Homo-oligomer: A and B are copies of this chain.
Amino acid sequence: MMGRNITLAMGNGGEENYLLLQKIFKHLKNEYLEKAEDGTPLPPLTTPIFTTDSFTISPLFFKGGDIGKLAVAGATNDLAMMGAEPKFLSLSFLIEEGFGLRDFEKVLKSIKKECEINGAKVVTGDTKVLPQGSCDKLFINVSAVGERVKNYSQENIQEGDLILVSGDIGRHGSAIFIAREGIELESELESDCKSLFPIVKELFEIEGVKALRDATRGGVSAVLNEWAKEREVCIELEESKIPISDEVRGVCEILGFEPLILANEGTFLAAVSPESAPRVLEVLQKFNPNAQIIGEVTKSYPRRVVLISEWGTRRFLDMPTGEILPRIC
């Protein structure tokens, strides 16, 4: 009864729509989805955190992930960064007429796998099919509700805190650019796309973690500039400590990109008290040996991020501006 591509009829609220929903339901089945009508009842929540994120990416499938993995990782990472355990997800699809059902099922399987990694469940959803040309293949919104365990917040950041990065930076932005432009590399360059809750859960055991933030659009630069502005502090970075893989460095040199503004989708920054930094680094390096302490919160240039070179020279790292290249969404 279903062909190989998604049709307008499958998004219309009628019989074919029902069949498409059954397909989604089959992959994501759980006790909440079974109770879903226009919405889904959840159990009582004592410290809820709520977030939303819409995902568009070209290509939909890339080295290191696909739009389904990206969507669940992206939304649950927002919760993890606030010190919350991801619990309940909503899933909303905008699908272009003619999109392949096999590709759609691949995306559903990635969603299922990434939900399991987070211990989270898709509890409510929405599916719309749009005429060809109205949307680019597939867009996904994931909104998520979690329970807060730790009060990680930029408000906690203060002078003396150390800045850590959970791994080498810039992989998502450069991998997507390479894939889109069809550039062939000799080396393997994979997106860092990943769910961060398994790492953050281990940080819950350590006191002195102030704030976490995944360095997505605008990269490391956007996060640190926002922290510096909001807290009216200076963030000084030792340029030589910032971990960048040879592959990313190579792409940046050839194409003229700045690794510090490249998007990441599974790499985060942490502001941590100096006493706790060694233990935090130990946890981070267990998941990625490239994790590093890269800087410190000071009062030297309030509201600015400063890069200190190996030779001791200093320059400001400004908030990214204009159309950041490469575009990744």
Interface residue ranges, A against B (CB under 8 Å): 7-9, 11-18, 37-54, 56, 77-79, 81-82, 84, 88, 90-94, 123-126, 128, 130-131, 133-136, 139, 141, 143-146, 148, 153-154, 213-214, 216-219, 222, 261, 263, 319-324, 327, 329
Taken together, the copies of this chain in the complex come to 2
By a CB distance below 8 angstroms, the chain B residues around A130 are 56, 136, 329
Given contacts A39-B144, A48-B145, 9 further A-B pairs with CB under 8 A are A8-B323, A9-B322, A14-B321, A18-B319, A37-B81, A39-B82, A40-B49, A50-B145, A130-B136
Q: Is the CB of A51 within 8 A of B39?
A: yes
Q: Please name 29 pairs of A and B residues whose Cβ atoms are closer than 8 Å in the assembled complex, sorted by A.
A: A11-B217, A11-B329, A13-B219, A14-B218, A14-B319, A14-B321, A14-B324, A17-B217, A38-B77, A39-B81, A40-B49, A40-B50, A40-B51, A41-B48, A41-B82, A42-B45, A42-B50, A44-B48, A48-B145, A50-B123, A52-B143, A53-B92, A56-B128, A92-B143, A131-B327, A134-B135, A134-B136, A135-B135, A135-B136
Partner of A14, one of B7, B38, B146, B320: B320
Instruction: Let me know if A128 and B329 touch, CB within 8 A.
Output: yes
